[in-house]
Amino acid sequence: MRITILGAPGSGKTTLAKNLGDIFKSVCMFYEYMAKEHYCIDYDSAPLEENFTNEDLVLNNINKVFKESNNFIFDGFPRKVEHLEKSKVEIDFAIYLIFFNDQNRTDRMLKRGLDYDTIDFISKRNKEHDETILPILKYFADNDKLIPLKADKPIIDLIAQAIIQMDDYLIEEAVLKVNRLQKTYKKYKENLA
């Protein structure tokens, strides 16, 4: 399963990505951590690059991971529609975390204790998000892949809402996997005979 989690800074993307990653045993990729020559997909052990504006490096690293795994969760990708066009990644679902209270979101970011989370930086990121998110949401909505969730709920509620909305797809994927296993088993039996 290929999921991306979108939302304004401080909306809870990383928390949801980690939790869904644990549930689905998915590789989690965090946009900021992909902006390195030796990218890291382990959020907890990697030092964050403050300057994560090297989009070519990010896209290159994302494409490498995409080749290695078909079961992943992106946190914060794409940041622009062009990222989808330049990458070779196909997304099954885009979960958009809607957070209506900017002050609460800013407070959450300041509390997380990252060195670069200053009021100026947060304002800049919020402005960038507001300027770029609508075409991205439209892209996923037009392709029936958008799952909007209110981010002001407890994480367990967000997880449950996301899984419920993905349920039809998950059932369909499970049926396809069973069918593939049955075909493989049938060929195996035929080869034994």
C-alpha 49/C-alpha 53 separation (Å) is: 10
CATH number assigned to the domain comprising residue 140: 3.40.50.300
Number of domains into which the chain is organized? 1
Query: Does 89 or 142 have the greater pLDDT score?
Result: 142
13-17, 81-85, 148-152, 166-170 — which is least confidently predicted?
Answer: 166-170
Whether residue 133 has pLDDT greater than 80: yes
Instruction: For residue 184, give the 3-state DSSP assignment.
Output: helix
For position 141, what pLDDT does the model report?
92
For position 39, what pLDDT does the model report?
52
C-alpha 144/C-alpha 31 separation (Å) is: 23
Q: In the structure encoding, which two tokens stand for residue 122, read together? A: 């947060």
For position 53, what pLDDT does the model report?
55
C-alpha 130/C-alpha 13 separation (Å) is: 16
Give the bridge partners for 30, in sequence order: 75
Contacts 24+ apart (CB under 8 A), 127-130: 128/79, 129/8, 129/9, 130/8
5-9, 25-29, 100-104, 152-156 — which is least confidently predicted?
Answer: 100-104
Supply the range of the domain harboring residue 172.
2-192
Confidence grade of residue 5 (pLDDT, cut at 50, 70, 90): very high
Check: CB of residue 94 under 8 Å from CB of residue 4: yes
Average pLDDT taken over every residue of the chain: 79
For position 9, what pLDDT does the model report?
81
Q: What is the pLDDT of residues 16-42, one digit of tens each?
A: 998 998 888 888 887 777 765 555 444
Whether residue 47 has pLDDT greater than 60: no
C-alpha 111/C-alpha 15 separation (Å) is: 14
For position 104, what pLDDT does the model report?
72
Percent of the chain with pLDDT over 70: 84
Which CA distances in Å does 23 have to 20, 148, 160, 170?
Answer: 5, 20, 11, 13
Confidence grade of residue 43 (pLDDT, cut at 50, 70, 90): very low
Query: Does 139 or 57 have the greater pLDDT score?
Result: 139
For position 35, what pLDDT does the model report?
63
Q: In the structure encoding, which two tokens stand for residue 29, read together? A: 């990729």
**What letter does residue 32 receive in the DSSP assignment?**
G
